[in-house]
Chains A and B, each alone.
Chain A
Amino acid sequence: MSSHDLISLLVIAQLAAPLATLATIGLPALAGRPLGETATTRLVGIGFAAGFLSGVAALVILGGRSFRPEIVHLATWFAVGHHEATINLVADALSVPYVCFSSGLCWLVNAFAGKYLHREPGFTRFFILLALFGAGMNLMVLADSIDVLFAGWECLGISSALLIGFFHERTNAVKAALRAFTTYRICDVGILTASVVVHRAVGSGDFDRLFGVDWPNGTCLVSATTATVVSLLLVFATLGKTAQVPFSGWLPRAMEGPTPSSAIFYGALSIHAGAYVLLRCEALLEQAPLARASLILIGTGTAIHASLVGRVQTDLKSVLAYASMTQASLILVEIGLGWRVIPLVHVIGHAILRSLQILRSPSALHDRYELAAALGGHPGSGNSWPLSMMPKTWQDHLYRVALDRGYEEMAVSRLVVGPIVRLLDRAAAAEKAWITWLSGESAGDRR
């Protein structure tokens, strides 16, 4: 068997394993006879382990041939004349390490969640969503066409929203889920439009027609204008999942879900999905200074916003949410600067560190006590430079800004949501008046 076939097989296994577990635990649940807890965790664990191990094997083989990328053609969805939509996967220096990393993390969190969710109503639902997430993640990572990438991206979005609303008997959880979902959907328009533009430009969604898939040395194969348009759309798409201003309000709220899903989604994988997409398309970004500039601008702004707001948060999970947001923004800045390996390393390091922190966030009291014991007292709190240099009134004002989360939500709700709601209200009123007039009733009768 050639290394080509072997890699194709392994890549397919990376995708098929989580999908297969999704089916094996999802179908019985659909039939009303969910599997037991042990069987569920074990199956999902096997799926992720298989993904991880085949990823490692693929990595070894790829490494043996100095990371020459391998495109795996699965199917052609449709082809009309010169235009075709293919289902292609790619194994290269970006996707394969990333699959190892994400499958490994999922595997670990699966083991954690198996104990953590023991006897919880909704146990099966959690693992179905986790398997869906894992499958979507691998699909997104391995995608060699923007359409496939979009499919994986959407799996991430829906599983993320449903896990935020995991405790659907609580209003706050459902509201938070809806908020995240809405934000995602708005930003998804970016990828969808980008896909249309790409198809128009090169007659297919394949990345290898956009830029040679030789990460990190890809070269852009389309015009600078196309590259700029697509890059800008992709940047817009990543703003939602990476929780960039003005789309960051959902992230602290996303902590309504169970701790393990918070860890893997908002500490580790989902929050970096946008960064991955941008890394994948780095060759386009290279030709799009405008997009890179906007990345740097938004990333810097969000990093400052998040680190400021994070300072005044009084609950552990919000503190960690803003810490994640800070680093995710930094990573976007790094991508904007045109770096490739540094942001990738940063993503992986940050994801591991933050998911550990979120997983052990219920230990805060313990940790704090041990720290105080070691130091002989509690560490003092207070501001460091440059905040400490400001006059008190400035500091107080900034504190208020931070406590109100940088007024981001107020601005969004006043400037965007409010007008839309008012418009819809007016439309509804107009429709009512129209119907009343049509049906020949006077307004007085209806009261």
Chain B
Amino acid sequence: MNAHPHDHDPNDLAALIRAAAHYLPAQGPIDVFIHHNTLHAFENEPFEDAVIHASSIFGTEPFLSESRYRDELAHGRIRTADIEAVLEFDSPHFAEAELAGGRLRLRDLHRVLLLHPVRQESDTSVRWTLTESDVLQRLRADLPTHVRHRLLDDDLEPGGRVARSNLGDSEDEATRRTTFARADMGSADRERRVCSDLWHACLEAMAISHKAFVHVRPPVRHRDLIRAVDPTMDTDELVHPLLIRLCAAYLDQGVASWPMPDREHGLLQAAAGLYAGAHGPTEPWSVHLPAALRACRGLTADEVIVTEIDRLGVPRADRGDFIRQTLLALRGWAGMIYQFQERPDRAPVEQVPARLVDFLALRLVLDRVAAEWAARRNGIPPSGHEGIDLASWRVELQDRFPPHRGPGTLARAFLLHQVSQLVGMTGHDIRSLDENELLRFERAISAFDATSRRRLFHLAYERRHRIMILDALAAHVAVASPRPATPPTGQIILCIDERCESFRRHVEELGRGYETFGTAGFFAVPMYYQGLDDWHPSPLCPIVMRPSHTVLEVPEDHSVANHRLHRNLRKRYGQLSGSLSVGSRTLFRGGLFSALAGGIAAIPLVARVAFPRLAARIGKSAADVTRRRIATRLDLFRDGPAPLDDGTSAGFDVDEMAGMVRRVLEDIGLTTRLSRLVAVLGHGSSSRNNPHESAYDCGACGGGKGGPNARAFAMMANDARVRERLVRDGLMIPDDTRFIGGMLDTCADGIAWFDVDRLPDSHHADMQAMREVCSVATAADAHERCRRFESAAFDLTPAEALAHVEARSVDLAQVRPELGHATNAVCIIGRRWRTQGLFLDRRAFLVSYDPTTDVDGTILARTLAAVGPVGAGINLEYFFSTIDRLGYGAGTKLPHNITGLIGVMDGHGSDLRTGLPWQMVEIHEPVRLLVVIDAQPTAILAAAEAVPAVKKLVVNRWIQLVSWDPDTGGLSVFEQEGFRPYVSEGTQPPVVDRSADWYGGHREHLPPARVLNGLEPHPSRQGGAA
């Protein structure tokens, strides 16, 4: 037993805490939900090692369950060929090693164990299986015929065995036929003899080989040591309710009308202030808590931690693990404290001086008091004035920690019995093995444990998906044709979000002559934005950026009076509703109110539950009565250099604006061929009764709604001064090109347009056409989305589908207002024409990028920097929340309970639940993001090299990277050693006229299909060369 090697000096407490904090969930307050890689702390390790490593630290699942993969195998989602391929690829060298005296190769063993489930049971359950089932009479039912006959045959002619010692499929077919005929006679008898003989051979084998013995390191936390000797005693169950109450009270952002006193002194001192007093009863375990907290007064948290660790008797070598596990025991709350410490600016309402050391110190005091109680209950007498000597009790508990006994003899024999059948070894074969060979064989079987099998299954699972996508791309590029030189009727720039894929496809399918582009949905406009109805500015840009500009929405001059009226009315209404909702909870006001007017609540109750869409409409028009008469504009242009109070500048200057416009147009390759009207659509999602609402919004806007960015971008691109500056930089926007901003609601499938009245008269017809195309496309999009909802019938018309999704977005009872990013799996960075007309099932982030205009690779580098971490963050958060719905995800939404306005708990007092709820990931297929880039391998590597955050993802394969040759259309997949050309399986995607023909009547994920109506201008067979 030796300590884990540490990168840190074990004496450096701060470093240990920092290292441990790294493992805490990095999710901030829930009102701004930002997708991130759940295992961000492990990104420096290769993906497959990292998930296994993380599972051992967090006690979580590394992959899906084996039975789930076996189901996928049974349904053809994983194919036998995939398993062969990953086995081939995975362990090329030692897999050739021979086992069991040359009877089989290691790889054959692995293949058999993957294709056939083998039960690993305890001695007791084996005993039951042996008596209650016919495993000793009948061979396994899933044996391949030739194996089955070999086993039976062996019994018939012992002499014939030598000829068949090689398990290869080279067996003489004729021989097999004859043995088949003979084996048929009295087969039941023979089968019983063979099977039982094999069982006895396995039992004998167990007698000569050694029993496996596993020495485990005893746990470092007292709680785990105590539980090991006294399973009824869980000190965490004593400590957690109190600790949760204190953390929740400390971090509360305004749920409680009575805030915790003395929060400004930190959690430890605030808790001590409440609990150190002599007054007030305690629970039996916490009798000594007041004294322990009194001792903390006047000490810093660090001093308390050192004292407590000493009293708990944790040796230096164990301290890193001890601190990490202590923090992880209540990781949600610890993580939230840490988030408040690191990003105080993200506190939803008020900043509190939360520090992780305070939490740790408090937790250790509580842990120590609880451990002492447990010791007293276990009859440990107090020694000296310090009370109980926990250090020596800890040593005693570690000594008593039960060793992990490996599987018993019966269990091992049973495993060998099953495996031997599968590889075609008879009792005779087993007996012929010497001790060494037997041991090697058994080790080979047990080494290929559930985790190894699940890892390979997962690789096979991802491989099938990859092949499905890459084959479709390879086939599609051959029929797609580059864009003509003339500008199209209209162009729409959207977010890369995979939920926009279907909208774009429908626009292209229904609005002939419309082109679409994808770029990160903040449209290169990083800003703090305060809308007319907002009470404070919020950042609208990726989380890694901190905006240095603030943009306000202000009423137009002629609307100022209306605005004032509106604001006053709103304020009155707010005061009324606020005092009603608070008042209804109090004693006297609540009594009066509920007795006198409570019944009136029946109106909203019935309306909201029974007629959600109607109720929402009425509510909205009521709220809009005054709002509608206010015209607004963005206060976008900065006149002077004067910064605002918060250090940001109000608005942008012309240079900055020109830079942003140029950046986006260059990124998406739209520097020429601009059409008369270019729409810029941000996106957001509106839903009710949904604490995770922000998780459905735009990731590139830091979990905000991207409409204002689109609106700002359009205003900038329309500005004459900006255009002038752009011309100077060599980017010419034609005079008759106008930009129009808007926002797509991905939940209700509607578009709100901004500043339409600012369009010149000449463009009204274009705008009308644009509106029509978009409204048809949103209905079609709603229709396509409805196929996923069981509550939407298959025969809905697009209009009915639109009504259905609108109702979803306002329904209080709806826990799946939309499915969010649950379908994400692919990211394609490249020219749209190469994928246009391909049904990608809302599963692909589509990033517009034109390699032909990117001479030196700078555009690719900045595109990857913007898209890589956001896309991978979304993908990996869904990945892990799906893999382990309780460990990484937030479990089901139904018992979720908003606490402190910062997060959700399960029920009335649990750890904060981080990650995504089950309802969001339910249909998700966890595969690493398949990033296909329309660029040469060398260009991709150079670009990735330039962005450390992306390089880490690529090199450690947290994303699957594919190069799509811009000229030849050839694909190559990035593997451990570098890019390797991809060989297509040659399947052609199915061909349909319209998307609806393909998805109609299906709820499940669908493979890509070619949609002829989407191909522009006409299906051609010209080949894919640019």
Contacts and interface: CB of A to CB of B under 8 A. Distances in A.
A254 to B, nearest CB: 8
Interface in B605-619: 605-606, 608-610
Interface string B376-390: 000000000000000
Contacts of B822: none
Contacts of B254: 368, 378-379, 381
**Interface size bucket, B side?**
35 or more
A35 to B, nearest CB: 15
A377 to B, nearest CB: 6
B1019 interface: no
A176 B907 contact: yes
A170 B907 CA distance: 10
Interface in B597-643: 597-599, 601-602, 604-606, 608-610
A339 to B, nearest CB: 11
Interface in B261-297: 261-262, 273-275, 277, 279-284
A143 interface: no
A303 B587 contact: yes
B377 to A, nearest CB: 12
Given A118-B816, A396-B274, A345 B689 contact: no
Interface string A387-403: 10000100111011111
B6 interface: no
B898 A360 contact: no
Nearest to A405: B245
A60 interface: no
Given A108-B605, A119-B790, A362 B261 contact: no
B587 A352 contact: no
A353 B601 contact: yes
Nearest to B922: A119
A120 interface: yes
A12 interface: no
B255 A316 contact: yes
Nearest to B907: A256
Given A314-B249, A356-B601, A414-B284, A349 B31 contact: no
A141 interface: no
Nearest to B534: A373
Contact of B590 (A116, A326, A348, A374): A326
A316 B602 CA distance: 21
In this complex, the member of B274, B602, B610 whose beta carbon has the largest number of chain A beta carbons within 10 angstroms is B602
Contacts of A353: 584, 593-594, 598, 601
Interface string A101-131: 0000000110111111111100000000000
A158 B573 CA distance: 42
Contact of B899 (A315, A367, A371): A315
B895 interface: yes
B976 interface: no
A355 interface: yes
B179 interface: no
Interface in B236-265: 245-246, 248-249, 252, 254-262
Contacts of A350: 594-595, 598
Interface in A245-282: 252-253, 255-260
Nearest to A116: B813
B598 A258 contact: no
Interface string B899-936: 11100011111100000000000100000000000000
B260 A399 contact: yes
Contact of A361 (B262, B816, B898): B898
A413 B790 CA distance: 48
Given A319-B255, A352-B599, A360-B812, A255 B586 contact: no
A354 interface: yes
Nearest to B604: A356
B815 interface: yes
A141 to B, nearest CB: 18
A327 B590 contact: yes
A411 interface: yes
Contacts of A20: none
Nearest to A349: B598
A307 interface: yes
Interface stretch (B489-497, B574-582, B655-663): B574-582
A87 B690 CA distance: 46
Contact of B256 (A112, A319, A345, A348): A319
Nearest to B894: A258
Contact of B895 (A173, A323, A345, A403): A173
A356 B258 contact: no
A376 interface: yes
B984 interface: no
B689 A363 contact: yes
B535 A375 contact: yes
A109 B812 CA distance: 12
A369 to B, nearest CB: 7
Interface string A189-211: 00000000000000000000000
Contact of A120 (B277, B813, B892): B892
Contacts of B571: 374-376
A371 B578 contact: yes
Interface in B511-542: 533-536
A355 B813 CA distance: 13
A294 interface: no
A427 interface: no
Contacts of B905: 315
A360 B608 contact: yes
A112 B585 contact: no
A112 B258 contact: no
A178 interface: no
B896 interface: yes
B594 A362 contact: no
Nearest to A380: B254
B693 interface: yes
A29 interface: no
Contact of B897 (A316, A377, A392, A401): A316
A365 B31 contact: yes
A198 B261 CA distance: 53
A312 B246 CA distance: 11
A304 to B, nearest CB: 7
B596 interface: yes
A323 B584 contact: yes
Contacts of A407: 280-281
Interface string B662-705: 00000000000000000000000000111101000000000000
Contacts of A304: 587
In this complex, the member of A307, A312, A346 whose beta carbon has the largest number of chain B beta carbons within 10 angstroms is A312
B815 A116 contact: yes
A108 B607 CA distance: 10
Contacts of A387: 258
Contacts of A361: 897-898
A320 interface: yes
A357 B587 contact: no
Contacts of B790: 118-119
B923 to A, nearest CB: 10
Contacts of B574: 370-371, 373-375
B30 interface: yes
B315 interface: no
B556 to A, nearest CB: 20
Contact of A315 (B591, B894, B900): B900
21 contacts: A116-B894, A118-B816, A253-B907, A253-B908, A304-B587, A312-B249, A321-B908, A352-B598, A359-B608, A360-B608, A360-B812, A363-B689, A363-B812, A365-B898, A370-B574, A377-B535, A377-B536, A381-B256, A387-B258, A397-B279, A404-B280
Top-10 shortest CB links A-B: A349-B598, A374-B574, A256-B907, A323-B585, A315-B899, A350-B594, A346-B595, A115-B813, A353-B598, A311-B258
Given A312-B249, A330-B591, A349-B599, 20 more contacts: A108-B606, A112-B609, A112-B813, A311-B257, A315-B248, A319-B256, A320-B585, A330-B587, A351-B598, A353-B584, A356-B604, A359-B608, A360-B689, A364-B901, A365-B901, A374-B570, A374-B577, A376-B535, A378-B350, A418-B284
